[in-house]
Structure 1
Amino acid sequence: MTYHGDVTPGGPPAVRDLDRLTITKVSVGPMDNNAYLLRCRATGEQALVDAANEAPRLLELVGDTGLATVVTTHRHMDHWVALEEVVAKTGARPLVHHDDAEGLPIPAQPLADGDTVRVGECELEVIHLVGHTPGSIALLYRDPAGGPHLFTGDSLFPGGVGNTDRDPERFAALIDDVEHKLFDRLPDETWFYPGHGKDSTLGVERPALPQWRARGW
């Protein structure tokens, strides 16, 4: 089945099989948050990006294989409601950027820009993106058999960067980080998976960067 990335709360997940990594995207309510289960195809090890809500549903998705890590993309509550229960029932190691660690309900291992999160034989690069929150991150997976895959939390969406509450300094920080750390580094075929809503590619969004800067949000 062709991956489309279009999921809705309570609806079926969307599954994408890469050469070495399987990505399962699911939307949980009540705020239509995306959660992503990543599984190394060689070892079966799994990681969850954002235990946003509906812990029983996320645990069902994890299944009997177990869960090694839960990465929280940023400290906003709608991205970690299920974190405590998922960690308690799986023994997974919680990870978050150190600048957002105090916003989580449980202690988590701190991450920094440039760190690597392993999922079995697969590696995800931590990219720190300041602005939506002080410790927001994206996770970059470079598929050896294809283009890059990027999990952007609430820092980048189709149509613009994440909410900075109309704060000019926060917006400038976020648009600069998104442009220089993502668009300047990665090719057009980079597929990105945001914290809410549909996916896109950097190539589709790239022409609009000047418009995003001009409008200031």
Structure 2
Amino acid sequence: MKQSIQWVRSVIFLGLIYFNLLVVGIVFLPWALVSRSGAFAAAHTWCRSTMWLAGWMVGIKTEVRGTPPTGEVIVAAKHQSFLDIIMIYASLPRGKFIMKKELIYTPVIGIYGLRMGCVPVDRGKRGAAIRKMVAQVVAGIGNPGQLIIFAQGTRVPPTEKLPYKIGAGILYKELKQDCVPVAVNVGAFWPAHGIMRTPGTAVIEFLPTIPAGKSLSDFMEELENVVETRSEELLVESGYYERQK
């Protein structure tokens, strides 16, 4: 019975956050069209209201650890579910994503993503995508903000392992910017797929900065090591593995 109630609450929660996305998108649209500040304000409003709803509707509390960056940096994060997108973005003043090209055609998300300076890339053509990604980022470097990239390129459930893609390293090398790694445990409560949401404390943690200037290989090794190690520790702390037994 308890599981059934949680499932129903999860369904209602998902319906509410997407309805809220539409409402926020419409309300902020005039401001967003004339100013990027309006787009950032809309995104922050929706992310924070979603986190609030998650807390009292499905029992997912959210916690941000470490110091979110405010300057021009690359934010390279682990990606376990939609919740880490929400939490990371809510923590940054001017976040912009490397995102799938298909998302620009998504209602609300597409227009706001472009207004915020997100960079759409075609993941189906890896070499061309990386070159285009770097060119687009460099072309838009005048727009201040924190460039968010998911280092594995896709959502990775807690029990799965995927290699880190070279895109984060190439951006680090070409842009000559510091990189802030981000570890997460959100997949323990908000899965990559499915409806059920599990109560608990979802954590994202901004880790110590990797300074600009390292070699590509050293950067990639350090990034993967610190993010994977800390994400695993956060999963253990969350009790995820105990619940899987």
* Rg larger for: 2
Q: TM-score, normalised by structure 1?
A: 0.32
Q: TM-score, normalised by structure 2?
A: 0.29
Structure richer in strand, relative to its length: 1
